Chains A and B, each alone.
Chain A
Amino acid sequence: DTEVTQTPKHLVMGMTNKKSLKCEQHMGHRAMYWYKQKAKKPPELMFVYSYEKLSINESVPSRFSPECPNSSLLNLHLHALQPEDSALYLCASSQDPDTSLSNEKLFFGSGTQLSVL
């Protein structure tokens, strides 16, 4: 299994809703990432989990709350989002954050296209 699976593929939510994005990989990767990508822009790093612990938080607003229940799963909990948060949310994983940099090849999921109304 060489896939990173994200659900749902599409999500429409109101500004008062609470929803969660889910990501799963079974490649034994120990680093998992959330990226946000606006149309025609590059992916922007949001969070990095290394060995199930949050290692990087790129000053993301608290309305985004990541969670890593185990080494295969990564969630992104959403609450009180704004319309400008509408974007493609990409999950990625890489093999081992502690090995040499040459192993940091990211495998991306297909993303969740989020629309906030």
Chain B
Amino acid sequence: QKEVEQNSGPLSVPEGAIASLNCTYSDRGSQSFFWYRQYSGKSPELIMFIYSNGDKEDGRFTAQLNKASQYVSLLIRDSQPSDSATYLCAVISRNNDMRFGAGTRLTVKP
């Protein structure tokens, strides 16, 4: 089982819709969870981080964490074509190093 799993996509949503990106992790001792956005040929850029169960909102982005289910998600409201990118879920394991999921490629169609 991979440490961090994501659906590779591609996920396609129309402009203005809600995009939902999901991630599961295997290490129950993980405590910190991150979502990075990566445009093609560019480096990853931190969008959201979450440490506690529940929802965390920042503008159009909402991160959701459920530690019992070992599940973290990212919702993007009012999706824009500029949101088209690969979204990487990252988890800090109990070994204190950051592991990335394979990424979900999101396409927002005008």
Contact = CB atoms under 8 A, between A and B. Distances in A.
Size range of the chain A interface in the assembly: 20 to 34
Contact of B43 (A41, A104, A105, A111): A111
A56 interface: yes
Nearest to A97: B96
A52 B80 CA distance: 41
Interface centre among A41, A43, A44, A102 (most CB of B within 10 A): A43
Contact of A106 (B98, B101, B102): B98
Contacts of B100: 42-44
A72 interface: no
Contacts of B86: 40
B8 to A, nearest CB: 8
Contacts of B32: 101-102, 104
Contacts of B102: 41-42
A110 interface: yes
Interface stretch (B45-53, B57-65, B69-77): B45-53
Contacts of A45: 97-99
Interface of B: 31-32, 34, 41-46, 49, 51, 86, 88, 90, 92, 96-103
24 contacts: A40-B86, A41-B102, A42-B100, A42-B101, A42-B102, A43-B88, A45-B97, A45-B98, A45-B99, A48-B97, A88-B43, A90-B43, A90-B44, A97-B96, A101-B96, A102-B31, A102-B32, A102-B51, A104-B32, A106-B90, A107-B46, A108-B45, A111-B42, A113-B41
